[in-house]
């Protein structure tokens, strides 16, 4: 199996040097993951638009007006806005609402993460393309200063990003429901209405359950499985559309003129405006182009949309309009939909392809939901959930079981509760257009602050795209009681969860900072820390990047012994997509060397693979050993960093895979024993009173370097002996409570909301596989 970190480095190099062959392969794969939702929109757009607000008449002004709106909406939003502008605002290759937010965080220092350091700003991906700080006289610089100065604006920016994120999650519930339900609705043309209503919902539910059950196989397998289905579907709808244009109305192309939009609104007035909520569904799935950018590349997504998806959709909508322009008397209301324009002999094959394509369409938004929740979790805005990396070769492809089954339950509830595309369309439309409005607002800030363009360019962007989207937003919002309340309700629930978690985490960190123990207190205890130092290594987990956590003083005052080597371990996220392996660890001494106290800060980007258990332990120990060797040899290859908030000097040390000539750790067992214990046994701390069999031996393999100082060699020997004796994780278990005298709102948020989330979320990922014998929990009550 490939090392995820080395695999990530290879992928990043490939993205920089893309060949046409690689681009085309990625473009093909993107069809199965990104464009499924967008390509299935012809199933329900006309049906939703003509649901009740407007009627199809002999003059064809309505159908041609809807076609004109569909054409220009597809041209302006997915093609012009996303393909040509928004995709360029990637965060080192990553996309989505939170990618825009983190891009702004780094350029304006409005980061929501509490434990950031100045050293983080020296990460190679922190400033994209070597951004130079703009002149103080520019409007962008003044806007940046205002954002940095006022905390309320920083909170508003975070809330805006969370609103967009919550609507994406809401869309993850609604899109599978409407896509599958609309595809299955083709059965209504082949059976009576009485029978159809008993078949449609159960079939849709069975398909949805199967879709969510497939998610654990991963994006890579799903992408290659689903891409042929989307290609077949696009060929099918474009061929049928072309047939209908030629056979029924070759002059339908005239309806692409914007003049038909004017005629449509002039005739239909209020009804036409309200029908925009249905027309809006033609761009559902456009946000997936940006949200799933990290799985593919800009070039591949642009090529797939511009040369295949866009022309196929235009032909499909034109073909439907051409057919309907010659058929005005409908036997039943549902015949305004997609299947009525399909030649009768092809309806059953098309129905089968449509159902498969609808499953693919749902995949796009589910994938995007997993990605954006992982970003939120890494940035401290979502409770910890289990994240499964489904590919050892392709980075960023993940599966989140808790979210997957939650989406499935909510999706089934929407399908069973609504049972018609009209209300599902109203709900989905509001979610889609809200995400797009949030993207427009954040993009305007990116244009000024990150791209350093004129404020007039940003205003032009907002007024052009914002006004267009606001028109659709108003039409969707008016349908609040007719289904549009669902994404609002879901967003409020997820918003409450995210903000409560973020607020509680921030307050908990502030408590830790205020109650941390000074290093002077520690140094006053002497090299033995005033207690007995026993063999072994203690990893004290803390969120602090400087100072001594209160749990340590609480521990040493209650127990008479501690390990011979102590490492204060902080695993934190930084607002970049990836941290290069050579910049992963920050290591430093706490106090004099003979104290054998170290601080190790492990930095991950919000898209990075988190190593855990045995592999993580080895990387950590090797990095501390590399730090000791570097100090002993005064190597120039390691870079020193200093934080203004601390007198500790930290050194950047890469993970072992980045040091070709670095220290390697070798573990073996006594030769007398042939049966090797499992990984978990190796990590247990054995009591000196019981002789373990077999005994583990740990050796550091040192490269040939200039002679090392005796003190450094002795320090390495102590580290080796400690690792051989075993590693213990010391975890703080805090019971968080609101301070006495706090408002009832704060007590409700902290004592009920945050406490419930902490009790039911997952523990930090790295100690999950550590045996209970190697874990110590130190309980504390935190009044915040």
In this predicted model, what pLDDT tens digit does every residue of 167-183 receive, in sequence order? Answer: 989 988 998 998 888 88
| C-alpha of 560 from chain center | 45
Mean pLDDT confidence for 118-143:
66
Check pLDDT > 70 for residue 496.
yes
Mean pLDDT confidence for 233-239:
95
What are the backbone angles phi and psi of residue 604, rounded to the nearest 5°?
-125, 145
| pLDDT score of 635 | 46
What whole-number distance in Å separates Cα of residue 251 and Cα of residue 234?
23
| pLDDT score of 2 | 44
Closest CA to 4 of 765, 624, 579: 579
Candidate from 18-22, 105-109, 144-148 with smallest mean pLDDT = 18-22
SS3 717: helix
Residue 781, H or E segment: strand 775-783
| C-alpha of 637 from chain center | 34
Mean pLDDT confidence for 195-202:
77
pTM above 0.85, yes or no: no
Contacts of 500 (CB under 8 A, 6+ apart): 749, 753, 754, 757
Percentage of residues of the chain with pLDDT beyond 70: 80
Mean pLDDT confidence for 251-274:
90
Q: Which two tokens stand for residue 682?
A: 């190796």
3-state SS record for 342-355: CCHHHHHHHHHHHH
Length, in residues, of the chain: 784
- Higher confidence at residue 447 or residue 108? 447
Q: Which two tokens stand for residue 4?
A: 């995820």
- Higher confidence at residue 185 or residue 329? 185
Based on its alpha-carbon atoms, the radius of gyration of the chain, rounded to whole angstroms, reads 29
SS3 669: strand
- Higher confidence at residue 58 or residue 391? 58
Q: Which two tokens stand for residue 2?
A: 């490939």
> Do 542 and 549 form a contact (C-beta atoms < 8 A)?
yes
Label residue 240 by pLDDT band (50, 70, 90). very high
Mean pLDDT confidence for 319-341:
76
- Higher confidence at residue 55 or residue 261? 261
3-state SS record for 575-617: CCCCCCHHHCEEEEECCCHHHCEEEEEEEECCCCCCCCHHHHH
SS3 419: coil
Q: Which two tokens stand for residue 526?
A: 């002497």
User: What beta strand segments (E) does 385-518 contain?
Assistant: 388-389, 398-399
Look-up of token digits 């408590």: 511
> Do 41 and 313 form a contact (C-beta atoms < 8 A)?
yes
In this predicted model, what pLDDT tens digit does every residue of 404-438 receive, in sequence order? Answer: 999 999 999 999 998 888 889 899 999 999 999 99
Check pLDDT > 50 for residue 688.
no
Residue 108, H or E segment: helix 97-108
What whole-number distance in Å separates Cα of residue 681 and Cα of residue 704?
33
Check pLDDT > 80 for residue 507.
yes
Label residue 529 by pLDDT band (50, 70, 90). low
| pLDDT score of 555 | 75
Strands 727-737 and 532-541: parallel
> Do 316 and 113 form a contact (C-beta atoms < 8 A)?
no
Strands 775-783 and 727-737: parallel
> Do 385 and 212 form a contact (C-beta atoms < 8 A)?
no
Check pLDDT > 90 for residue 199.
no
Q: Which two tokens stand for residue 235?
A: 């060929």
Query: Would you list the DSSP string of 369-393?
Result: HHHHHHHHHHTTSS-----EE--SS
Helices H, strands E: what count in the chain? 28, 12
What whole-number distance in Å separates Cα of residue 88 and Cα of residue 487?
29
SS3 729: strand
Mean pLDDT confidence for 117-144:
67
Other CB atoms within 10 A of residue 248 CB: 17
Check pLDDT > 90 for residue 107.
no
Check pLDDT > 50 for residue 6.
no
Closest CA to 617 of 650, 656, 564: 656
| pLDDT score of 467 | 93
What is the per-residue burial (b if ≥16 Cβ within 10 Å, else e) of 454-465?
eeeebeebbeeb
| pLDDT score of 660 | 57
Angstrom distances, CA of residue 149 to CA of 69, 110, 146 = 43, 9, 5
Sign of CA dihedral 78, 83, 86, 91: positive
In this predicted model, what pLDDT tens digit does every residue of 689-738 receive, in sequence order? Answer: 434 445 556 666 666 555 667 788 888 888 888 888 888 888 877 788 88
Angstrom distances, CA of residue 128 to CA of 18, 87, 89, 689 = 19, 15, 11, 56
Beta bridge mates, 571: 602
Contacts of 723 (CB under 8 A, 6+ apart): 537, 621, 665, 698
Q: Which two tokens stand for residue 158?
A: 């975070």
What whole-number distance in Å separates Cα of residue 57 and Cα of residue 103?
50
- 559-562 contacts, C-beta under 8 A, 24 or more apart: 559/531, 560/531, 560/532, 561/531, 561/532, 561/533, 561/534, 562/529, 562/531, 562/532, 562/533, 562/534, 562/538
> Do 581 and 657 form a contact (C-beta atoms < 8 A)?
yes
Beta bridge mates, 532: 561
What whole-number distance in Å separates Cα of residue 24 and Cα of residue 26?
5
Q: Which two tokens stand for residue 282?
A: 């033609």
Label residue 230 by pLDDT band (50, 70, 90). very high
| pLDDT score of 137 | 47
| pLDDT score of 768 | 46
Mean pLDDT confidence for 669-677:
44
| pLDDT score of 319 | 94
Helix-helix angle 310-324:219-248, to 10 degrees: 40
Mean pLDDT confidence for 332-340:
67
Mean pLDDT confidence for 250-256:
92
| pLDDT score of 10 | 47
What whole-number distance in Å separates Cα of residue 357 and Cα of residue 183?
8
Candidate from 27-31, 759-763, 764-768 with smallest mean pLDDT = 764-768
Mean pLDDT confidence for 123-140:
59
Mean pLDDT confidence for 230-247:
95
What whole-number distance in Å separates Cα of residue 426 and Cα of residue 431?
9
Look over the chain and give the mean of its residue pLDDT values, rounded to a whole number. Answer: 80
N- to C-terminal Cα distance for the chain? Answer: 45
Closest CA to 500 of 587, 673, 381: 381
What are the backbone angles phi and psi of residue 557, rounded to the nearest 5°?
-80, -10
Candidate from 219-233, 519-533, 552-566, 622-636 with smallest mean pLDDT = 519-533
| pLDDT score of 765 | 53
In this predicted model, what pLDDT tens digit does every residue of 555-575 receive, in sequence order? Answer: 777 776 778 898 999 988 888
Query: Would you list the DSSP string of 318-329?
Result: HHHHHHHTT---
Look-up of token digits 């069999």: 693
Check pLDDT > 90 for residue 297.
no
User: How open is the CA angle 35-40-45, to the nearest 5 degrees?
Assistant: 125
What whole-number distance in Å separates Cα of residue 323 and Cα of residue 344?
13
| pLDDT score of 653 | 85
């Amino acid at each position: 199996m490939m090392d995820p970190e080395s695999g990530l480095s290879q992928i990043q190099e490939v993205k920089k040097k893309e060949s046409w062959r690689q681009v085309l392969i990625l473009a093909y794969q993107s069809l199965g993951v990104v464009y499924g939702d967008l390509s299935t929109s012809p199933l329900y757009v006309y049906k939703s638009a003509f649901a009740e607000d407007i009627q199809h008449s002999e003059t064809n002004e309505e159908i041609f007006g809807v076609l004109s709106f569909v054409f220009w909406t597809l041209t302006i939003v997915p093609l012009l806005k996303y393909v040509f502008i928004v995709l360029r605002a990637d965060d080192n290759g990553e996309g989505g609402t939170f990618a825009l937010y983190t891009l702004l965080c780094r350029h304006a220092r409005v980061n929501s993460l509490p434990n950031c350091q100045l050293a983080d700003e020296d990460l190679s991906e922190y400033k994209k393309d070597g951004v130079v700080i703009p002149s103080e006289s520019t409007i962008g610089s003044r806007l940046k200063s205002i954002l940095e100065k006022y905390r309320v604006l920083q909170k508003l920016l975070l809330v805006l990003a969370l609103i967009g994120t919550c609507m994406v999650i809401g869309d993850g519930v609604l899109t599978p429901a409407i896509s599958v339900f609309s595809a299955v609705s083709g059965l209504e043309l082949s059976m009576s209405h009485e029978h159809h209503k008993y078949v449609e919902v159960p079939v849709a539910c069975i398909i949805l359950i199967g879709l969510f059950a497939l998610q654990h196989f991963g994006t890579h397998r799903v992408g290659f499985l689903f891409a042929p289905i989307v290609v077949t579907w696009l060929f099918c709808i474009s061929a049928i559309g072309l047939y209908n244009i030629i056979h029924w109305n070759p002059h339908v192309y005239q309806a692409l003129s914007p003049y038909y939009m004017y005629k449509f609104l002039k005739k239909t007035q209020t009804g036409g405006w309200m029908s925009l909520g249905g027309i809006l569904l033609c761009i559902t799935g456009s946000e997936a182009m940006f949200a799933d950018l990290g799985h593919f590349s800009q070039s591949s997504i642009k090529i797939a949309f511009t040369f295949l998806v866009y022309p196929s959709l235009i032909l499909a909508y034109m073909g439907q309009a051409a057919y309907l322009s010659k058929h005005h008397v409908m036997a039943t209301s549902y015949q305004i939909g997609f299947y009525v324009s399909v030649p009768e002999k092809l309806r059953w094959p098309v129905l089968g392809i449509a159902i498969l394509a609808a499953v693919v369409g749902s995949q796009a938004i589910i994938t995007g939901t997993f990605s954006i929740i992982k970003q939120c979790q890494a940035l401290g805005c979502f409770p910890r959930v289990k994240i499964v990396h489904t590919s050892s070769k392709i980075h960023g492809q993940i599966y989140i079981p808790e979210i997957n089954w939650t989406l499935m339950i909510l999706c089934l509830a929407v399908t069973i509760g609504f049972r018609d595309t009209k209300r599902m369309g109203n709900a989905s439309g509001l979610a889609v257009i809200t995400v797009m409005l949030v993207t427009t607002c954040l993009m305007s800030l990116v244009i000024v602050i990150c791209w350093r363009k004129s404020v007039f360019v940003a205003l032009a962007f907002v007024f052009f795209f914002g006004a267009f989207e606001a028109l659709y937003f108003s039409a969707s919002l008016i349908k609040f009681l007719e289904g549009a309340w669902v994404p609002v309700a879901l967003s409020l629930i997820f918003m409450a969860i995210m903000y409560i978690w973020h607020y509680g985490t921030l307050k908990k960190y502030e408590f830790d900072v205020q109650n941390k123990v000074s290093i002077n207190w520690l140094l006053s205890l002497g090299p033995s820390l005033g207690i007995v130092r026993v063999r072994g290594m203690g990893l004290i987990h803390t969120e602090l990047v400087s100072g001594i956590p209160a749990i340590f003083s609480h521990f040493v005052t209650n127990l008479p012994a501690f390990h011979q080597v102590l490492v204060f371990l902080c695993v934190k996220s930084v607002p970049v997509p990836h941290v290069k392996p050579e910049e992963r660890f920050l290591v430093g001494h706490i106090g004099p060397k003979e104290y054998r106290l170290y601080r190790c800060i492990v930095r991950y980007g919000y898209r990075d693979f988190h190593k855990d258990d045995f592999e993580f332990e080895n990387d950590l120990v090797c990095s501390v050993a590399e730090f000791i060797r570097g100090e002993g040899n005064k190597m120039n290859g390691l870079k020193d960093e200093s934080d203004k908030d601390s007198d500790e000097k930290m050194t950047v040390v890469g993970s072992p895979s980045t040091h070709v000539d670095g220290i390697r750790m070798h573990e073996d067992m006594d030769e007398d024993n042939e049966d090797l214990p499992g990984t978990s046994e190796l990590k247990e701390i054995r009591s000196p009173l019981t002789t373990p069999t077999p005994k583990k031996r740990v050796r550091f393999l040192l490269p040939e370097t200039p002679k090392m100082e005796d003190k450094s060699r002795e320090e390495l020997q102590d580290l080796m002996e400690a690792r051989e004796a075993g590693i213990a994780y010391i975890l703080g278990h805090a019971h968080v409570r609101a301070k006495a005298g706090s408002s009832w709102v704060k007590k409700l948020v902290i004592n009920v909301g945050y406490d419930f989330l902490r009790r039911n979320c997952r523990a930090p990922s790295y100690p999950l596989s550590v045996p209970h014998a190697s874990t110590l929990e130190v309980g504390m009550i935190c009044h915040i």
